[in-house]
């Protein structure tokens, strides 16, 4: 159920009928034809630009064509109370009150399904976070984590299947340095040996915690020879590090249902198999690369390398697959990983990447096209940086874990709900200023509080009249009444399916937080009117008015709850 798209289809069908009757002409491709809510300064219920769009092809003015369309629509849609014609030829349509009652009844009956689309159901793989398993998650990971989780919720809300995946980069120099750091902390604890001053090692206190857990488990008894215990120590260290990361994610309300380990892909020859597959399709060759931008040509040593023809698929340059020592590049591992994803028969792959990976999207997109013969769609969403502020000044928190602020620090400071909502207070592709003062205020300036407070207020109304919020409320057509403020709220409620449709099609869940804030602003403004004028109080002596308003409040509460559920933010009944 989508008021705007439903009437887009209905009005377009009317236009086609008029064309068959030779009353109007419609071009083969009709673009920019819209049915939407009119601007706030107009009181119409919906607005249509058909006359403006079709005037030229009909050799007439928009106003003259609008008169023809108005007459036809009024006579064929019993729910249209009136249609006025704006200066530019827009049709401003007003509904009879019985239509709004039907709308409200449908919304309440649909409940948690209201806004969900009936599109073709697909199977999605959403890979997000995938931070190196060398320690706790920091604030930089937080935004991408929330984005990936909310995208998953949004896609599931529309009836699709989603696998939320974490790719564990447990291979390479970073992991070696991490395990070596744990080893030196163990020696420090057991043998009082000083931890080395080495910039490649990890200094955070969490390394000490991991070391203590490994000592306590007694899974390794002799620490005298690092090389002998390296494999076992790696397994133990990574296990404890991933436990920290999973705990951090749980604090954010995030649970992955798939973990793919890079080391297992390598050990099972996924890389070599993926490379062989690309070779067969003639996408790999041996050649020399030009010096990268910014590097002096005289300092660059060109050598024969195994290269992937990523330029065929729109990349800037072909990409190397092997290092000078013959080991695989990071990109080769990513090719294998995405080949593994493709083999699992997903319809759409979504990668949520950090700001430092913005230049990486073209090459991985090229790889997916090559492996899948352009049959699998890959979408890369870049999550830009988060800057912390308090009272307008950059804010620095404790850094027990090393040289960064952790997700756990952030949650302890402001809570899960504020963190999640504020991480979606701007589009993911622009930097975000996270203001600690704003997210702890109980005011309109704190969006998450303002939305939650609206839901709590609605619940308080039902509590005060001893009525359950999900009670089946019936109002006869002739007794149904809504004033102009209530219809304004209802029109915004009717825009919820469009918000979901745009958020889903563009993969932009921040639209939901924007919408919810705009919706509850209308509600709070109306609530304040009731403080001065008893006619605007939601609980009213006139039962007909009261029940009409309660039906509106039920619909409003449903939209707030659905939206906050997608965002992964709670809706408390009391505040």
Mean pLDDT on 186-206: 90
Please compute, for residue 38, the number of CA atoms within 13 A of its CA located in the half-sphere on the CB side: 19
Q: How far apart are CA 507 and CA 282, in angstroms?
A: 34
Residue keyed to tokens 């600690």: 436
Q: State residue 541's pLDDT score.
A: 64
Angle at 223 between CA 219 and CA 225, to 5 degrees: 125
Mean pLDDT on 98-110: 92
Q: Which of 94-98, 475-479, 541-545 has the highest mean pLDDT?
A: 94-98
Q: How far apart are CA 417 and CA 408, in angstroms?
A: 13
Q: What is the pLDDT of residues 400-432, one digit of tens each?
A: 455 567 888 889 888 999 999 999 989 988 888
Summary mean pLDDT of the chain: 89
Contact assessment for residue 447 and residue 512, using Cβ atoms and an 8 Å cutoff: no
Contact assessment for residue 123 and residue 412, using Cβ atoms and an 8 Å cutoff: no
User: What residues pair up with 415 in beta bridges, in sequence order?
Assistant: none
Q: State residue 240's pLDDT score.
A: 96
Q: State residue 194's pLDDT score.
A: 92
Query: What is the three-class DSSP state of 466?
Result: coil
Residue 555 has pLDDT above 60, yes or no: yes
Q: How far apart are CA 28 and CA 101, in angstroms?
A: 37
Q: State residue 43's pLDDT score.
A: 84
User: What residues pair up with 35 in beta bridges, in sequence order?
Assistant: 48
Q: How far apart are CA 217 and CA 182, in angstroms?
A: 14
Mean pLDDT on 346-369: 91
Residue 295 has pLDDT above 80, yes or no: no
Q: What percent of the chain has pLDDT over 90?
A: 57
Mean pLDDT on 242-262: 95
Q: State residue 30's pLDDT score.
A: 84
Q: State residue 492's pLDDT score.
A: 95
Mean pLDDT on 134-153: 92
Fold classification of 3-95 is Gyrase A; domain 2 (3.30.1360)
**Domain spans of the chain, in order of start:** 3-95, 442-567
Q: Is 290 or 162 the better-scoring residue by pLDDT?
A: 162
Q: State residue 140's pLDDT score.
A: 82
Question: Domain 442-567 classified CATH 1.10.150.120?
Answer: no
Instruction: Give me the phi and psi of 140, to 5 degrees please.
Output: -60, -30
Closest CA to 477 of 46, 96, 76, 109: 96
Q: What is the pLDDT of residues 4-35, one digit of tens each?
A: 889 999 999 998 898 888 898 888 888 888 99
Q: State residue 231's pLDDT score.
A: 93
Residue 512 has pLDDT above 50, yes or no: yes
Mean pLDDT on 349-356: 92
Give the pLDDT band (50/70/90) at residue 55.
confident
Q: How far apart are CA 455 and CA 452, in angstroms?
A: 5
Residue 519 has pLDDT above 80, yes or no: yes
Q: State residue 447's pLDDT score.
A: 92
Q: State residue 185's pLDDT score.
A: 94
Q: What is the pLDDT of residues 300-347, one digit of tens each?
A: 677 788 899 999 998 888 999 988 888 888 899 999 999 999 999 999
Q: State residue 542's pLDDT score.
A: 61
Relative to beta strand 161-168, strand 258-261 is: parallel
User: HEC profile for 496-559?
Assistant: HHHHHHHHHHHCCCHHHHHHHHHHHHHHHHHHHHHHHCHHHCCCCCCHHHHHHHHHHHHHHHHH
Q: State residue 399's pLDDT score.
A: 43
């Amino acid at each position: 159920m989508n008021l705007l798209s439903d009437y887009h289809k209905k009005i377009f069908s009317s236009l086609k009928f008029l064309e068959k009757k030779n009353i109007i002409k419609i071009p083969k491709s009709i673009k920019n034809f819209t049915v939407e809510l009119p601007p706030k300064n107009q009181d119409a219920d919906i607005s249509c630009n058909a006359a403006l769009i079709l005037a030229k092809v009909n050799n007439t003015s928009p106003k003259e064509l609008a008169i023809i369309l108005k007459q036809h629509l009024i006579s064929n849609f019993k729910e249209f109370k009136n249609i006025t014609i704006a200066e530019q030829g827009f049709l401003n349509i007003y509904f009879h009150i019985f239509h709004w009652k039907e709308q409200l009844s449908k919304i309440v009956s649909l409940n948690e399904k209201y806004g969900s689309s009936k599109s073709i159901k697909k199977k999605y793989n959403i890979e997000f976070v995938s931070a190196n398993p060398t320690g706790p998650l920091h604030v930089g990971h937080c935004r991408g984590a929330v984005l990936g989780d909310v995208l998953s919720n949004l896609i599931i809300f529309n009836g699709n299947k989603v696998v939320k995946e974490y790719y564990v980069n447990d291979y390479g120099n970073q992991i070696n340095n991490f395990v070596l750091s744990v080893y030196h902390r163990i020696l420090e604890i057991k043998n009082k040996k000083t931890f080395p001053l080495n910039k490649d090692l990890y200094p955070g206190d969490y390394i000490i915690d991991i070391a203590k857990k490994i000592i306590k488990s007694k899974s390794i008894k002799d620490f005298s020879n690092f090389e002998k215990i390296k494999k076992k120590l790696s397994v133990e260290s990574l296990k404890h590090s991933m436990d920290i990361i999973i705990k951090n994610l749980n604090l954010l309300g995030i649970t992955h249902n798939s973990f793919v380990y890079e080391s297992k892909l390598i050990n099972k020859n996924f890389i070599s198999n993926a490379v062989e597959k690309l070779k067969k399709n003639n996408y790999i060759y041996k050649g020399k690369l030009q010096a990268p931008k910014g590097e002096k040509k005289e300092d660059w040593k060109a050598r024969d390398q195994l290269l992937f023809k990523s330029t065929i698929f729109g990349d800037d340059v072909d990409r190397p697959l092997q290092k000078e020592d013959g080991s695989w590049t990071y990109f080769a591992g990513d090719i294998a990983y995405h080949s593994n994803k493709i083999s699992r028969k997903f319809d759409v792959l979504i990668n949520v990447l950090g700001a430092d990976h913005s230049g990486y999207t073209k090459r991985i997109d090229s790889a997916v096209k090559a492996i899948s013969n352009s049959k699998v769609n890959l979408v890369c969403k870049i999550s830009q940086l988060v800057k912390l502020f308090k009272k307008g000044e950059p804010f620095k928190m404790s850094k027990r874990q090393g040289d960064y602020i952790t997700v756990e620090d952030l949650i302890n400071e402001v809570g899960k709900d504020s963190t999640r909502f504020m991480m979606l207070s701007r589009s993911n592709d622009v930097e975000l200023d996270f203001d600690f003062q704003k997210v702890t205020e109980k005011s309109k300036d704190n969006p998450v509080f303002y939305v939650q407070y609206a839901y709590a207020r609605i619940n308080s109304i039902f509590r005060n009249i001893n009525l359950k919020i999900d009670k089946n409320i019936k109002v006869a057509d002739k007794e149904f009444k809504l004033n102009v403020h209530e219809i304004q709220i209802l029109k915004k409620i009717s825009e919820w399916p469009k918000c979901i449709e745009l958020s889903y099609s563009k993969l932009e869940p921040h639209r939901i937080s924007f919408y919810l804030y705009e919706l509850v602003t209308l509600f709070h403004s109306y609530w304040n009117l009731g403080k001065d004028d008893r006619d605007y109080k939601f609980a009213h002596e006139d039962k007909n008015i009261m029940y009409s308003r309660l039906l509106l409040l039920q619909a409003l509460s449903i939209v707030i709850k659905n939206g906050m559920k997608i965002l992964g933010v709670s809706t408390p009944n009391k505040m």
